[in-house]
Amino acid sequence: MQIERDAKEQWMACQKETDKSWLYGVTCKDGVVVGLDWSNNHLDGSLPEVIAGLSHLKLLNLSKNLLSGSIPESLSQLTSLVQIQFGTNSLSGSIPPTMGNMSQLTLLYLEENNLTGTLPTQLGLLTNLKALSLFNNELEGKIPFELSDLTNLNSLFLDNNKLKGNVPYNLFISFHEIIDLRFKGNSDLTGTIPSFLKSMTNLSRLYLDGCQFTGSLPTEIGYLTSLTQLHLHKNDLEGSLPSELGSLKLVEELWLDNNRFRDGIPTELGMLTKMESLFLYRNELGTQNNNGVMVGIPTEIGLLFSSLKVLHLNANRIRGTIPTQLGLLTRLETLELDTNTLEGTVPDDLGTLSKLKEFTLFENRLTGIVPDSVCDLTDQTLQSGVLEKLATDCELECDCCTCF
């Protein structure tokens, strides 16, 4: 269905006596149109210029349609607009700099389109903005310094674009109200994670994965005690994991894989009793620490028995034995310990992991026999038999394993 170009009279057709319109999705107040919500309606074609005639409009929601073409410059005439939602369409072209004139905006959703060009510096004029969503477009260039003026932001989604260069440090200083911050999937986005991110104490979700962040993870990360999801994987971070991670008591997802962290797994991670998934794979956590000691899997991981479902420690050069305390993780569904230098035998205690679906042990130095209690987890005739993948080295004696 196409938005009719000659429909202006219909959109403005509010019954002054009742403040009602006969047109679906139209909201009236004091005899004028203040809201258009035609989301998820199979609308196609371009955004008509006639919308600019709705001078009292406060809400404009055309998300989840098939709209194409560019965002008209005339839209910026709607200075009363509070919310714009154009997400999940096929809009193209650049974001008009004149949108910076829409000073009443609190919500601007343009995600999942085909928008190109750079982020206009004029977006920094939208100081009432609480939510800015631009993810899954083709936006490029640097993140403007001016965005740091958006001090009321609760959420900023710039993920999966083509942004590059250093993230302005002022963003981490200015966003005191930010709850959800996402830069992920911008493979040319660079910089370090600054210590002054500690001012973002309301932050619940931080997605910086799939970029080119370098340097270490600052100890000040421990100030972000509202964090529930911390995604820093697929960067070039290095150094030791700070023990202050143990202060993130609400964290459910800690994804730090595919970096160059070393010097062991902090025992303080055992304090994160709400954590459901811990991804540390493809780091160098088994390399020798500052005391010259080769480090292994801390027994404190067993303290996560009430929450942990996914544990990936593979490809880390971890040495030592498999702690029997891992058998306490009775909610565990995935346990990946492969591609390390683990020694000794497979503990019988792991047979208590009745919800385990995937267990990998190959490319280690383990010896002996895989216990019957673990093999029983693969027996579909037993109540506990849910283990679908048990992968080990062929040197281990095992009748139920796939060996490599």
For the stretch 231-268, pLDDT in tens is: 999 999 999 999 999 999 999 999 999 999 999 999 99
pLDDT value of residue 146: 97
CA distances from 62 to 88, 264, 403 (A): 9, 50, 54
More confident site: 281 or 173: 281
Q: In 167-273, which ranges are continuous DSSP H helix?
A: 169-174
CA distances from 183 to 97, 109, 379 (A): 22, 16, 44
pLDDT value of residue 5: 46
Q: Which of 2-6, 107-111, 149-153, 302-306 has the weakest average pLDDT?
A: 2-6
CA 38 to CA 35: how far, in whole Å?
10
Question: Where in 256-375 does DSSP place strands (E)?
Answer: 260-262, 277-279, 310-312, 334-336, 343-344, 358-360, 365-366
**Burial class of residue 340 in the structure, from the number of CB atoms within 10 Å of its CB (0-12 exposed, 13-18 middle, 19+ buried):** buried
Does the pTM surpass 0.85? The reply is: yes
pLDDT value of residue 355: 94
Given a cut of 50, whether residue 6 has pLDDT beyond it is no
The H-or-E segment that residue 163 falls in is strand 162-166
Q: Which residues contact 282 (CB under 8 A, 6 or more apart)?
A: 257, 258, 259, 314, 315, 316
Mean pLDDT, to the nearest integer, of 79-100? 97
In sequence order, what are the beta bridge partners of 277? Answer: 253, 310
Mean pLDDT of the chain: 92
Percent over 70 (pLDDT), the chain: 91
CA 346 to CA 366: how far, in whole Å?
7
- Say how many C-beta atoms besides its own lie within 10 A of residue 243's C-beta: 14
| pLDDT tens, position by position, 41-86 | 999 999 988 888 899 999 999 999 999 999 999 999 999 999 999 9
